[in-house]
Chain A
Amino acid sequence: MSAPLLAQLTTIFGILTVVVLLAALLTWVERRLLGLWQDRPGPNRVGPFGLLQVVADMIKLFFKEDFVPHFADRPVFILAPTLVMATMLLGFAVVPFAPGIGIVDLNVGLLFVLAMSSLAVYSVVLGAYASNNKYALLGGLRAAAQTVSYEVFMGLSLMGVVMLAGSFNLREIVTAQEGGWFVLPQFLGFVIFFIAGIAESHRLPFDLPEAEHELTAGFHTEYSSMKFGMFFVGEYLSVILISALITTLFLGGWLGPWLPPLLWFCIKTALLVCVFVLLRAALPRPRYDQLMQFGWKVMLPLALANLLVTGGVLLWLQ
Protein backbone atom coordinates (compact mmCIF):
# COMPACT_ATOMS: atom_id res chain seq x y z
CA MET A 1 0.00 0.00 0.00
CA SER A 2 1.46 3.33 -0.98
CA ALA A 3 1.85 6.14 1.51
CA PRO A 4 -0.63 8.63 -0.03
CA LEU A 5 -3.32 5.97 -0.16
CA LEU A 6 -2.70 5.14 3.46
CA ALA A 7 -2.90 8.82 4.38
CA GLN A 8 -6.14 9.13 2.47
CA LEU A 9 -7.64 6.10 4.19
CA THR A 10 -6.67 7.55 7.55
CA THR A 11 -8.43 10.82 6.72
CA ILE A 12 -11.53 9.02 5.51
CA PHE A 13 -11.82 6.82 8.57
CA GLY A 14 -10.85 9.65 10.86
CA ILE A 15 -13.51 11.98 9.53
CA LEU A 16 -16.22 9.32 9.35
CA THR A 17 -15.53 8.11 12.89
CA VAL A 18 -15.55 11.62 14.26
CA VAL A 19 -18.79 12.41 12.46
CA VAL A 20 -20.55 9.28 13.69
CA LEU A 21 -19.33 9.90 17.23
CA LEU A 22 -20.56 13.47 17.03
CA ALA A 23 -23.95 12.25 15.86
CA ALA A 24 -24.12 9.94 18.86
CA LEU A 25 -23.03 12.74 21.15
CA LEU A 26 -25.75 14.89 19.67
CA THR A 27 -28.39 12.67 21.29
CA TRP A 28 -27.04 13.83 24.62
CA VAL A 29 -26.60 17.47 23.55
CA GLU A 30 -30.13 17.57 22.28
CA ARG A 31 -31.62 16.17 25.44
CA ARG A 32 -29.58 18.48 27.64
CA LEU A 33 -30.60 21.52 25.61
CA LEU A 34 -34.24 20.50 25.48
CA GLY A 35 -34.10 20.01 29.21
CA LEU A 36 -32.67 23.46 29.83
CA TRP A 37 -35.24 25.04 27.57
CA GLN A 38 -37.98 23.23 29.45
CA ASP A 39 -36.66 24.42 32.82
CA ARG A 40 -35.21 21.08 33.88
CA PRO A 41 -31.61 19.79 33.92
CA GLY A 42 -31.86 16.97 31.37
CA PRO A 43 -29.78 13.78 31.60
CA ASN A 44 -26.96 14.64 34.01
CA ARG A 45 -26.41 11.46 36.04
CA VAL A 46 -24.19 9.14 34.02
CA GLY A 47 -20.60 10.37 34.05
CA PRO A 48 -19.51 14.03 34.10
CA PHE A 49 -22.45 16.23 33.05
CA GLY A 50 -24.23 13.05 31.99
CA LEU A 51 -21.86 12.66 29.06
CA LEU A 52 -21.73 8.91 29.42
CA GLN A 53 -25.46 8.79 28.81
CA VAL A 54 -24.51 8.18 25.19
CA VAL A 55 -22.55 5.07 26.18
CA ALA A 56 -25.38 3.87 28.39
CA ASP A 57 -27.85 4.28 25.54
CA MET A 58 -25.56 2.44 23.17
CA ILE A 59 -25.21 -0.47 25.56
CA LYS A 60 -28.95 -0.53 26.02
CA LEU A 61 -29.63 -0.51 22.28
CA PHE A 62 -27.10 -3.26 21.62
CA PHE A 63 -28.66 -5.55 24.20
CA LYS A 64 -32.22 -5.05 23.02
CA GLU A 65 -33.76 -7.85 21.03
CA ASP A 66 -33.15 -7.25 17.35
CA PHE A 67 -36.63 -8.16 16.25
CA VAL A 68 -37.76 -8.66 12.67
CA PRO A 69 -41.52 -9.12 12.46
CA HIS A 70 -42.53 -12.31 10.64
CA PHE A 71 -44.77 -10.33 8.28
CA ALA A 72 -41.93 -8.01 7.24
CA ASP A 73 -40.06 -8.14 3.98
CA ARG A 74 -36.88 -9.37 5.57
CA PRO A 75 -34.05 -8.30 3.19
CA VAL A 76 -35.49 -4.85 2.64
CA PHE A 77 -36.28 -4.46 6.31
CA ILE A 78 -32.64 -5.09 7.15
CA LEU A 79 -31.28 -3.01 4.30
CA ALA A 80 -33.34 0.12 5.00
CA PRO A 81 -31.63 1.45 8.15
CA THR A 82 -28.17 0.98 6.66
CA LEU A 83 -29.10 3.16 3.70
CA VAL A 84 -29.68 6.28 5.72
CA MET A 85 -26.33 5.95 7.47
CA ALA A 86 -24.49 5.13 4.27
CA THR A 87 -25.91 7.99 2.24
CA MET A 88 -25.45 10.52 5.00
CA LEU A 89 -21.84 9.48 5.53
CA LEU A 90 -21.25 9.65 1.77
CA GLY A 91 -22.64 13.16 1.86
CA PHE A 92 -19.92 14.14 4.30
CA ALA A 93 -17.29 13.10 1.75
CA VAL A 94 -17.43 16.42 -0.09
CA VAL A 95 -17.83 18.74 2.89
CA PRO A 96 -14.78 21.01 3.13
CA PHE A 97 -14.04 21.18 6.83
CA ALA A 98 -11.01 23.40 6.50
CA PRO A 99 -8.31 24.04 3.89
CA GLY A 100 -6.66 20.66 3.38
CA ILE A 101 -9.16 18.80 5.54
CA GLY A 102 -11.81 16.95 3.61
CA ILE A 103 -12.20 13.66 1.83
CA VAL A 104 -12.68 14.54 -1.84
CA ASP A 105 -12.85 17.71 -3.85
CA LEU A 106 -15.59 17.02 -6.39
CA ASN A 107 -16.35 19.69 -8.95
CA VAL A 108 -20.04 18.75 -8.62
CA GLY A 109 -19.80 18.59 -4.83
CA LEU A 110 -23.00 20.47 -4.20
CA LEU A 111 -25.03 18.26 -6.50
CA PHE A 112 -23.47 15.21 -4.89
CA VAL A 113 -24.54 16.25 -1.40
CA LEU A 114 -28.02 17.06 -2.58
CA ALA A 115 -28.25 13.69 -4.29
CA MET A 116 -27.05 11.85 -1.22
CA SER A 117 -29.38 13.64 1.14
CA SER A 118 -32.33 12.88 -1.12
CA LEU A 119 -31.31 9.26 -1.45
CA ALA A 120 -31.67 9.00 2.29
CA VAL A 121 -35.43 9.12 1.88
CA TYR A 122 -35.25 5.67 0.30
CA SER A 123 -34.24 4.40 3.67
CA VAL A 124 -37.43 5.77 5.20
CA VAL A 125 -39.69 4.66 2.38
CA LEU A 126 -38.19 1.19 2.12
CA GLY A 127 -38.20 0.72 5.86
CA ALA A 128 -41.82 1.78 5.99
CA TYR A 129 -42.78 -0.47 3.10
CA ALA A 130 -40.88 -3.47 4.43
CA SER A 131 -42.44 -3.16 7.88
CA ASN A 132 -45.81 -4.07 6.43
CA ASN A 133 -47.52 -1.94 9.02
CA LYS A 134 -50.20 0.71 8.54
CA TYR A 135 -48.54 3.40 10.59
CA ALA A 136 -45.18 2.77 9.00
CA LEU A 137 -46.69 2.90 5.54
CA LEU A 138 -48.41 6.21 6.26
CA GLY A 139 -45.12 7.56 7.57
CA GLY A 140 -43.32 6.36 4.48
CA LEU A 141 -45.89 7.95 2.17
CA ARG A 142 -45.54 11.21 3.99
CA ALA A 143 -41.77 11.03 3.80
CA ALA A 144 -41.88 10.44 0.07
CA ALA A 145 -44.31 13.28 -0.59
CA GLN A 146 -42.43 15.61 1.74
CA THR A 147 -39.12 14.91 0.08
CA VAL A 148 -40.50 15.36 -3.40
CA SER A 149 -41.97 18.72 -2.48
CA TYR A 150 -39.09 20.07 -0.47
CA GLU A 151 -36.35 18.75 -2.69
CA VAL A 152 -37.53 20.97 -5.51
CA PHE A 153 -36.89 24.30 -3.90
CA MET A 154 -34.03 23.01 -1.79
CA GLY A 155 -32.01 22.77 -4.97
CA LEU A 156 -33.46 25.95 -6.42
CA SER A 157 -32.66 27.98 -3.32
CA LEU A 158 -28.98 27.08 -3.73
CA MET A 159 -28.73 28.19 -7.32
CA GLY A 160 -28.31 31.77 -6.19
CA VAL A 161 -25.21 30.75 -4.27
CA VAL A 162 -23.93 28.81 -7.25
CA MET A 163 -24.44 31.82 -9.51
CA LEU A 164 -22.60 34.10 -7.12
CA ALA A 165 -19.70 31.68 -6.68
CA GLY A 166 -19.71 30.46 -10.25
CA SER A 167 -19.01 26.90 -9.14
CA PHE A 168 -20.60 23.73 -7.79
CA ASN A 169 -17.42 22.92 -5.92
CA LEU A 170 -17.98 23.43 -2.21
CA ARG A 171 -14.40 24.49 -1.62
CA GLU A 172 -14.61 27.16 -4.30
CA ILE A 173 -17.93 28.33 -2.90
CA VAL A 174 -16.21 28.89 0.45
CA THR A 175 -13.28 30.76 -1.07
CA ALA A 176 -15.72 32.88 -3.09
CA GLN A 177 -17.09 34.13 0.24
CA GLU A 178 -13.85 35.78 1.26
CA GLY A 179 -15.34 39.16 0.33
CA GLY A 180 -18.48 38.56 2.38
CA TRP A 181 -20.68 35.69 3.46
CA PHE A 182 -23.45 34.72 1.07
CA VAL A 183 -26.01 34.89 3.83
CA LEU A 184 -26.34 38.63 3.18
CA PRO A 185 -26.91 38.74 -0.59
CA GLN A 186 -28.75 35.40 -0.47
CA PHE A 187 -30.73 35.85 2.73
CA LEU A 188 -33.92 34.52 1.17
CA GLY A 189 -32.04 31.55 -0.23
CA PHE A 190 -30.59 30.93 3.24
CA VAL A 191 -34.02 30.90 4.88
CA ILE A 192 -35.52 28.68 2.20
CA PHE A 193 -32.63 26.25 2.33
CA PHE A 194 -32.80 26.11 6.10
CA ILE A 195 -36.50 25.27 6.05
CA ALA A 196 -35.99 22.70 3.32
CA GLY A 197 -33.11 21.28 5.33
CA ILE A 198 -35.34 20.74 8.33
CA ALA A 199 -37.86 18.97 6.13
CA GLU A 200 -35.11 16.96 4.50
CA SER A 201 -33.75 15.66 7.78
CA HIS A 202 -37.29 14.98 9.06
CA ARG A 203 -36.71 17.03 12.13
CA LEU A 204 -39.36 18.74 14.17
CA PRO A 205 -41.43 20.71 13.26
CA PHE A 206 -41.41 18.81 9.96
CA ASP A 207 -41.14 15.30 11.35
CA LEU A 208 -44.43 14.19 9.87
CA PRO A 209 -43.05 10.81 8.74
CA GLU A 210 -42.70 9.79 12.35
CA ALA A 211 -45.22 12.09 14.06
CA GLU A 212 -45.45 10.20 17.36
CA HIS A 213 -48.83 11.59 18.24
CA GLU A 214 -50.61 10.35 15.15
CA LEU A 215 -48.52 7.49 13.78
CA THR A 216 -47.07 5.90 16.94
CA ALA A 217 -43.53 6.14 15.56
CA GLY A 218 -44.21 6.37 11.84
CA PHE A 219 -41.75 4.63 9.61
CA HIS A 220 -39.70 3.03 12.38
CA THR A 221 -42.64 1.64 14.36
CA GLU A 222 -41.45 -1.95 13.81
CA TYR A 223 -37.77 -1.29 14.34
CA SER A 224 -35.89 -2.12 17.50
CA SER A 225 -32.37 -2.42 18.84
CA MET A 226 -29.50 -1.16 16.71
CA LYS A 227 -31.61 -0.96 13.54
CA PHE A 228 -33.67 1.68 15.28
CA GLY A 229 -30.41 3.16 16.53
CA MET A 230 -29.19 3.51 12.97
CA PHE A 231 -32.28 5.44 11.94
CA PHE A 232 -31.65 7.61 14.92
CA VAL A 233 -27.99 8.21 14.19
CA GLY A 234 -28.92 8.76 10.55
CA GLU A 235 -31.28 11.52 11.57
CA TYR A 236 -28.61 13.21 13.66
CA LEU A 237 -26.08 12.76 10.89
CA SER A 238 -28.41 14.55 8.53
CA VAL A 239 -28.83 17.36 11.05
CA ILE A 240 -25.06 17.75 11.17
CA LEU A 241 -24.78 17.47 7.40
CA ILE A 242 -27.41 20.13 6.77
CA SER A 243 -25.80 22.41 9.35
CA ALA A 244 -22.39 21.86 7.78
CA LEU A 245 -23.85 22.62 4.36
CA ILE A 246 -25.47 25.84 5.54
CA THR A 247 -22.17 26.82 7.10
CA THR A 248 -20.32 26.09 3.89
CA LEU A 249 -22.79 27.70 1.52
CA PHE A 250 -23.99 30.72 3.43
CA LEU A 251 -21.85 31.35 6.48
CA GLY A 252 -18.43 31.35 4.90
CA GLY A 253 -17.41 27.82 5.87
CA TRP A 254 -14.06 27.88 7.65
CA LEU A 255 -13.51 31.61 7.05
CA GLY A 256 -13.15 33.73 10.14
CA PRO A 257 -10.59 35.83 11.96
CA TRP A 258 -8.09 34.77 14.68
CA LEU A 259 -9.22 31.21 15.35
CA PRO A 260 -7.99 28.27 13.26
CA PRO A 261 -10.23 27.52 10.26
CA LEU A 262 -11.37 24.11 11.49
CA LEU A 263 -12.52 25.62 14.76
CA TRP A 264 -14.52 28.27 12.93
CA PHE A 265 -16.22 25.61 10.89
CA CYS A 266 -17.08 23.57 13.98
CA ILE A 267 -18.37 26.60 15.89
CA LYS A 268 -20.69 27.68 13.09
CA THR A 269 -21.96 24.16 12.54
CA ALA A 270 -22.51 23.59 16.25
CA LEU A 271 -24.49 26.81 16.57
CA LEU A 272 -26.70 25.78 13.68
CA VAL A 273 -27.25 22.37 15.26
CA CYS A 274 -28.38 24.18 18.41
CA VAL A 275 -30.86 26.13 16.30
CA PHE A 276 -32.22 22.81 15.06
CA VAL A 277 -32.75 21.73 18.65
CA LEU A 278 -34.31 25.06 19.51
CA LEU A 279 -36.77 24.62 16.67
CA ARG A 280 -37.73 21.28 18.12
CA ALA A 281 -38.18 22.80 21.55
CA ALA A 282 -40.24 25.75 20.38
CA LEU A 283 -42.42 24.92 17.42
CA PRO A 284 -45.44 22.66 17.04
CA ARG A 285 -45.82 20.31 14.12
CA PRO A 286 -47.99 21.61 11.25
CA ARG A 287 -50.79 19.55 9.78
CA TYR A 288 -49.81 17.50 6.78
CA ASP A 289 -51.75 19.51 4.19
CA GLN A 290 -50.38 22.72 5.67
CA LEU A 291 -46.88 21.38 5.16
CA MET A 292 -47.60 20.58 1.52
CA GLN A 293 -49.30 23.91 0.89
CA PHE A 294 -46.47 25.80 2.49
CA GLY A 295 -43.98 23.98 0.30
CA TRP A 296 -45.68 24.39 -3.05
CA LYS A 297 -47.50 27.67 -2.63
CA VAL A 298 -45.03 29.70 -0.59
CA MET A 299 -41.55 28.28 -0.69
CA LEU A 300 -41.40 27.27 -4.34
CA PRO A 301 -42.50 30.68 -5.72
CA LEU A 302 -40.16 32.40 -3.29
CA ALA A 303 -37.26 30.23 -4.39
CA LEU A 304 -38.04 30.93 -8.03
CA ALA A 305 -38.30 34.66 -7.40
CA ASN A 306 -34.99 34.57 -5.56
CA LEU A 307 -33.40 32.77 -8.49
CA LEU A 308 -34.81 35.25 -10.97
CA VAL A 309 -33.79 38.33 -9.01
CA THR A 310 -30.28 37.01 -8.34
CA GLY A 311 -29.83 36.18 -12.00
CA GLY A 312 -31.15 39.58 -13.06
CA VAL A 313 -28.94 41.50 -10.67
CA LEU A 314 -25.87 39.52 -11.71
CA LEU A 315 -26.57 40.21 -15.39
CA TRP A 316 -27.11 43.89 -14.66
CA LEU A 317 -23.85 44.13 -12.74
CA GLN A 318 -21.85 42.60 -15.55
Chain B
Amino acid sequence: MISQLRSMWLVFRHLFTPRVTVEYPDEKPYLAPRYRGRIVLTRDPGGEERCVACNLCAVACPPDCISLQKAEDENGRWYPGYFRINFSRCIMCGLCEEACPTYAIQLTPDFEMCEYDRQNMVYEKEDLLINGPGKYHHYSFYHVAGKAVGGKDKGAAENEERPVDIRGLNL
Protein backbone atom coordinates (compact mmCIF):
# COMPACT_ATOMS: atom_id res chain seq x y z
CA MET B 1 0.00 0.00 0.00
CA ILE B 2 2.83 2.39 0.90
CA SER B 3 4.55 1.77 -2.41
CA GLN B 4 1.31 2.41 -4.28
CA LEU B 5 0.82 5.71 -2.45
CA ARG B 6 4.41 6.59 -3.11
CA SER B 7 4.13 5.98 -6.83
CA MET B 8 0.93 8.02 -6.91
CA TRP B 9 2.77 10.87 -5.21
CA LEU B 10 5.69 10.60 -7.61
CA VAL B 11 3.39 10.67 -10.62
CA PHE B 12 1.47 13.58 -9.14
CA ARG B 13 4.67 15.60 -8.86
CA HIS B 14 5.02 15.37 -12.63
CA LEU B 15 2.25 17.96 -12.84
CA PHE B 16 4.96 20.49 -12.09
CA THR B 17 7.82 19.17 -14.18
CA PRO B 18 8.50 20.62 -17.62
CA ARG B 19 7.09 18.73 -20.56
CA VAL B 20 9.47 16.67 -22.60
CA THR B 21 7.48 16.81 -25.82
CA VAL B 22 7.34 19.72 -28.25
CA GLU B 23 4.22 20.70 -30.15
CA TYR B 24 5.41 19.35 -33.41
CA PRO B 25 4.19 21.22 -36.45
CA ASP B 26 4.69 24.57 -34.69
CA GLU B 27 7.96 23.68 -33.12
CA LYS B 28 10.33 21.22 -34.76
CA PRO B 29 12.19 18.85 -32.50
CA TYR B 30 15.97 18.63 -32.76
CA LEU B 31 17.02 15.65 -34.82
CA ALA B 32 20.51 14.19 -34.62
CA PRO B 33 22.58 14.49 -37.82
CA ARG B 34 22.56 10.74 -38.15
CA TYR B 35 18.77 10.53 -37.78
CA ARG B 36 17.43 8.07 -40.33
CA GLY B 37 14.95 9.76 -42.65
CA ARG B 38 14.58 10.48 -46.37
CA ILE B 39 17.27 8.82 -48.46
CA VAL B 40 19.54 10.73 -50.82
CA LEU B 41 22.13 9.72 -53.40
CA THR B 42 25.24 11.86 -53.04
CA ARG B 43 28.00 12.97 -55.38
CA ASP B 44 31.73 12.83 -54.79
CA PRO B 45 33.75 16.05 -54.36
CA GLY B 46 34.32 16.14 -58.10
CA GLY B 47 30.59 16.37 -58.70
CA GLU B 48 30.25 12.87 -60.17
CA GLU B 49 27.65 10.40 -58.98
CA ARG B 50 29.08 8.23 -56.26
CA CYS B 51 26.86 5.23 -56.86
CA VAL B 52 28.59 2.48 -58.79
CA ALA B 53 25.43 0.41 -59.24
CA CYS B 54 26.85 -2.51 -57.30
CA ASN B 55 23.36 -3.48 -56.05
CA LEU B 56 24.59 -4.14 -52.52
CA CYS B 57 22.01 -1.78 -51.06
CA ALA B 58 19.22 -3.51 -52.94
CA VAL B 59 20.41 -6.86 -51.59
CA ALA B 60 20.64 -5.57 -48.02
CA CYS B 61 17.27 -3.89 -48.04
CA PRO B 62 14.87 -5.96 -45.86
CA PRO B 63 11.62 -4.96 -47.57
CA ASP B 64 13.22 -4.98 -51.04
CA CYS B 65 12.29 -1.46 -51.88
CA ILE B 66 15.37 -0.45 -53.91
CA SER B 67 15.49 -1.15 -57.58
CA LEU B 68 18.32 -0.07 -59.90
CA GLN B 69 19.97 -0.89 -63.18
CA LYS B 70 23.65 -0.63 -64.01
CA ALA B 71 24.88 1.52 -66.89
CA GLU B 72 28.41 2.45 -67.97
CA ASP B 73 29.72 5.73 -69.27
CA GLU B 74 32.42 6.32 -71.88
CA ASN B 75 35.15 6.39 -69.21
CA GLY B 76 34.24 2.92 -67.95
CA ARG B 77 32.64 4.29 -64.83
CA TRP B 78 29.58 2.44 -63.65
CA TYR B 79 26.52 4.37 -62.66
CA PRO B 80 22.87 3.51 -62.12
CA GLY B 81 20.78 3.84 -65.28
CA TYR B 82 17.76 4.19 -63.10
CA PHE B 83 17.57 4.12 -59.32
CA ARG B 84 14.22 3.82 -57.63
CA ILE B 85 13.27 3.69 -53.95
CA ASN B 86 9.72 2.91 -52.96
CA PHE B 87 9.32 4.93 -49.79
CA SER B 88 5.95 3.46 -49.05
CA ARG B 89 7.81 0.28 -48.21
CA CYS B 90 11.08 1.64 -46.87
CA ILE B 91 11.39 1.14 -43.13
CA MET B 92 14.24 3.66 -42.69
CA CYS B 93 16.46 0.96 -41.26
CA GLY B 94 19.64 2.37 -42.74
CA LEU B 95 20.98 -1.00 -43.85
CA CYS B 96 21.43 0.31 -47.40
CA GLU B 97 23.71 3.04 -46.08
CA GLU B 98 25.74 0.47 -44.16
CA ALA B 99 26.00 -1.81 -47.16
CA CYS B 100 27.08 0.84 -49.61
CA PRO B 101 30.83 0.65 -50.36
CA THR B 102 30.96 4.18 -51.81
CA TYR B 103 28.97 6.28 -49.28
CA ALA B 104 26.63 7.02 -52.15
CA ILE B 105 23.36 6.27 -50.45
CA GLN B 106 22.75 8.20 -47.22
CA LEU B 107 19.85 8.79 -44.88
CA THR B 108 19.03 12.36 -43.86
CA PRO B 109 17.11 13.80 -40.89
CA ASP B 110 14.07 14.69 -42.97
CA PHE B 111 10.98 12.64 -42.31
CA GLU B 112 8.21 14.87 -43.65
CA MET B 113 7.44 13.04 -46.84
CA CYS B 114 3.71 12.36 -46.70
CA GLU B 115 1.78 12.09 -49.94
CA TYR B 116 -1.87 11.70 -50.81
CA ASP B 117 -1.10 9.40 -53.70
CA ARG B 118 0.84 6.24 -53.07
CA GLN B 119 2.54 6.42 -56.44
CA ASN B 120 4.19 9.68 -55.37
CA MET B 121 6.08 7.77 -52.72
CA VAL B 122 8.21 6.12 -55.38
CA TYR B 123 11.28 8.32 -55.78
CA GLU B 124 13.28 8.17 -59.00
CA LYS B 125 16.96 8.89 -59.36
CA GLU B 126 16.43 12.59 -60.12
CA ASP B 127 14.43 12.90 -56.89
CA LEU B 128 17.10 11.15 -54.88
CA LEU B 129 20.25 12.66 -56.29
CA ILE B 130 21.63 15.71 -54.50
CA ASN B 131 24.45 18.01 -55.57
CA GLY B 132 26.69 17.58 -52.56
CA PRO B 133 28.75 14.92 -50.83
CA GLY B 134 26.41 14.45 -47.86
CA LYS B 135 28.02 13.41 -44.59
CA TYR B 136 31.43 12.50 -46.07
CA HIS B 137 32.96 15.58 -47.62
CA HIS B 138 36.22 14.36 -49.07
CA TYR B 139 35.53 10.79 -49.98
CA SER B 140 35.70 9.78 -53.60
CA PHE B 141 35.51 6.10 -54.35
CA TYR B 142 37.56 6.10 -57.56
CA HIS B 143 40.37 8.05 -55.90
CA VAL B 144 40.95 5.29 -53.39
CA ALA B 145 39.88 2.21 -55.33
CA GLY B 146 42.13 0.19 -57.56
CA LYS B 147 39.82 0.13 -60.54
CA ALA B 148 41.05 1.83 -63.68
CA VAL B 149 38.64 4.28 -65.23
CA GLY B 150 39.11 6.93 -67.87
CA GLY B 151 41.55 9.55 -66.56
CA LYS B 152 42.83 7.34 -63.76
CA ASP B 153 44.98 4.35 -64.42
CA LYS B 154 45.86 1.41 -62.21
CA GLY B 155 48.15 2.46 -59.39
CA ALA B 156 47.16 6.10 -59.61
CA ALA B 157 44.86 6.06 -56.60
CA GLU B 158 45.79 7.58 -53.26
CA ASN B 159 48.22 5.47 -51.26
CA GLU B 160 48.37 2.94 -54.07
CA GLU B 161 51.64 1.39 -55.28
CA ARG B 162 52.37 1.16 -59.00
CA PRO B 163 51.31 -2.29 -60.24
CA VAL B 164 54.14 -4.82 -60.14
CA ASP B 165 55.28 -6.11 -63.51
CA ILE B 166 55.66 -9.78 -62.70
CA ARG B 167 57.60 -10.46 -65.91
CA GLY B 168 60.18 -7.90 -64.86
CA LEU B 169 60.83 -9.71 -61.59
CA ASN B 170 64.02 -11.73 -61.61
CA LEU B 171 62.98 -14.85 -59.79
Contact = CB atoms under 8 A, between A and B. Distances in A.
A44 B20 CA distance: 15
Nearest to A284: B7
Contacts of A40: 19-21
B18 A283 contact: no
B7 A282 contact: yes
Interface in A244-282: 278-279, 281-282
Contacts of B12: 37, 278, 282
B168 to A, nearest CB: 73
Interface string B1-45: 000100110111011011111010000000000000000000000
A41 interface: yes
A36 B21 CA distance: 11
Interface string A17-53: 0000000000000000000111111001000000000
B21 A39 contact: yes
Contacts of A278: 8, 11-12
B63 to A, nearest CB: 27
Contacts of A283: 4, 7-8
Contacts of B7: 282-283
Interface in A206-248: none
A39 B19 CA distance: 4
B1 to A, nearest CB: 9
A281 B10 CA distance: 11
A37 B16 CA distance: 9
B58 to A, nearest CB: 38
Contacts of A41: 19, 21, 23
Nearest to B8: A282
Contacts of B21: 39-41
A283 B1 CA distance: 11
A177 to B, nearest CB: 25
B15 A36 contact: yes
Nearest to B21: A40
B15 A282 contact: no
Contacts of A282: 4, 7-8, 10-12
A37 B12 CA distance: 6
A41 B14 CA distance: 12
A45 to B, nearest CB: 9
Interface string A263-307: 000000000000000110111000000000000000000000000
A39 B17 CA distance: 7
A278 B14 CA distance: 11
Nearest to A34: B11
Given A282-B8, A283-B4, A39 B14 contact: yes
Nearest to B5: A282
B19 A279 contact: no
A302 to B, nearest CB: 11
Nearest to B17: A39
10 contacts: A36-B19, A37-B12, A39-B20, A40-B20, A41-B21, A41-B23, A279-B8, A282-B7, A282-B10, A283-B7
Given A39-B18, A41-B19, A278-B8, 6 more contacts: A36-B14, A36-B15, A37-B15, A40-B20, A278-B12, A282-B11
